């Protein structure tokens, strides 16, 4: 039997660049007897940046889980011409065997109308949720086309779903299930275009 698994190995931010050895040892759980060892030479660049965000550095914390497996830590956004660029900060609580889509709606605060939206798999369809590894933390970039959207106050709404089965349950940090299994971001988005 062949088993594949990927792990995100956290490194101390103060770790200097250089050559290192990465070792994996497999042991018998009850006896502790070593069954196999594999080592690789790796190089950490001097200018390496962590892939996982520092939680304190996330501009807009969210803290909502979807289906008890996907944890949306927070997000940030910036206006870039005709696009609203979002960065979604995720942590994987458990592996998923299903590929889910993420939807993001930009809602006009004054009347609740959806003025822009995006439905996609993470990383522009290149990193489906079935590829995610347990305890992995990563940032997903998503662009909303706001070329036809007027300046004003808006709010972002996000959820996770599969067309055949519907939305994953969305639960806040207090354990409350969110209405319509979607998170409504509390911070308003002010578009200043034109």
| Bridge partners, residue 146, by sequence | none
Domain spans of the chain, in order of start: 55-191
pTM of the predicted model over 0.75:
no
Taking the alpha carbons at both ends of the chain, their separation in whole angstroms is: 60
Residue 84: count other Cβ atoms within 10 Å of its Cβ: 24
Show pLDDT as tens, one digit a residue, over the chain (194 residues): 444 454 556 566 677 888 888 888 888 878 888 888 888 888 877 766 555 555 557 899 999 999 988 999 999 999 999 999 999 999 888 888 889 999 999 999 999 999 999 999 887 878 788 888 777 888 889 999 999 999 999 999 999 999 899 999 999 999 999 999 999 999 999 998 65
User: What is the greatest pairwise CA distance in the chain?
Assistant: 69
> Can you identify the CATH homologous superfamily of domain 55-191?
abc- transporter (atp binding component) like domain (2.70.50.60)
With H, G, I as helix, E, B as strand and everything else as coil, classify residue 187: coil
Per the structure block, which two tokens stand in for 8?
Answer: 């995100």
* Cβ-Cβ contacts under 8 Å for 104 (sequence gap 6 or more): 86, 117, 118, 142, 144, 156, 157, 158
Residues 107, 90: contact at Cβ < 8 Å?
no
Residues 146, 79: contact at Cβ < 8 Å?
yes
Residue whose tokens read 């605060």: 109
* Cβ-Cβ contacts under 8 Å for 114 (sequence gap 6 or more): 105, 106, 107
């Amino acid at each position: 039997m062949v088993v594949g698994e990927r792990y995100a190995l956290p490194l101390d931010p103060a770790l200097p660049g250089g050559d290192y050895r990465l070792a994996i040892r497999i042991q018998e759980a009850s006896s502790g007897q070593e069954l196999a060892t594999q080592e690789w030479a790796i190089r950490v660049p001097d200018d390496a940046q962590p892939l996982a965000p520092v939680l304190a550095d996330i501009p807009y914390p969210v803290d909502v889980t979807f289906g008890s497996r996907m944890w949306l830590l927070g997000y940030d956004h910036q206006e870039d011409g005709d696009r609203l660029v979002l960065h979604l900060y995720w942590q994987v609580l458990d592996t998923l065997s299903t590929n889910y889509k993420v939807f993001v709606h930009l809602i006009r605060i004054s009347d609740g109308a959806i003025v822009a939206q995006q439905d996609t798999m993470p990383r522009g369809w290149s990193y489906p949720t079935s590829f995610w590894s347990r305890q992995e933390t990563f940032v997903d970039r998503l662009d909303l086309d706001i070329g036809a959207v007027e300046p004003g106050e808006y709010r972002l709404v996000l959820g996770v779903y599969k067309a055949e089965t519907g939305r994953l349950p969305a639960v806040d940090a207090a354990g409350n299930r969110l209405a319509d299994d979607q998170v409504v971001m509390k911070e308003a988005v002010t578009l200043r275009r034109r």
